[in-house]
Amino acid sequence: MAEETKENKMELMMYQLVIVIVIGFLIALAAGFFAGKAVGFSGGVDAVKTEIPDYCTVNKQGSDVNVKCNELGLTLEEVCAITSPALRSKVRVVSIGGKSS
């Protein structure tokens, strides 16, 4: 008596393989998107809480933030008027600024 063995073969057609790969790609893309939203810094400048001293002013226009600080409360002309020429020759004023385009 010959026993008949039945083999169960798992075969994928090419379109089935493509569908499995595309679905896997979409799931990985969605998982990365939601993980990035949860972990990433998506709030921008508005999400940052800062303490601004009384002698500083902040001007925000769109994505540009301009901060000016004057701890002495004097203008540059007033500082030059009250200091001696020897002190003015030793003191350098540094202006840090930039404009992003």
Q: Rounded to 5 degrees, what are φ and ψ at 29?
A: -65, -45
Render pLDDT for 36-57 as a digit per residue (tens, 0 to 9).
887 776 556 556 677 777 778 7
85-97 mean pLDDT: 72
pLDDT of 29:
97
What does pTM read for this prediction? 0.36
Domain boundaries, the chain: 51-90
Task: For residue 101, name the pLDDT band (cuts at 50, 70, 90).
Answer: very low
DSSP per-residue codes, 56-91: EEEEEETTEEEEEE-SS---HHHHHHHS-HHHHHH-
Render pLDDT for 16-31 as a digit per residue (tens, 0 to 9).
889 999 999 999 999 9
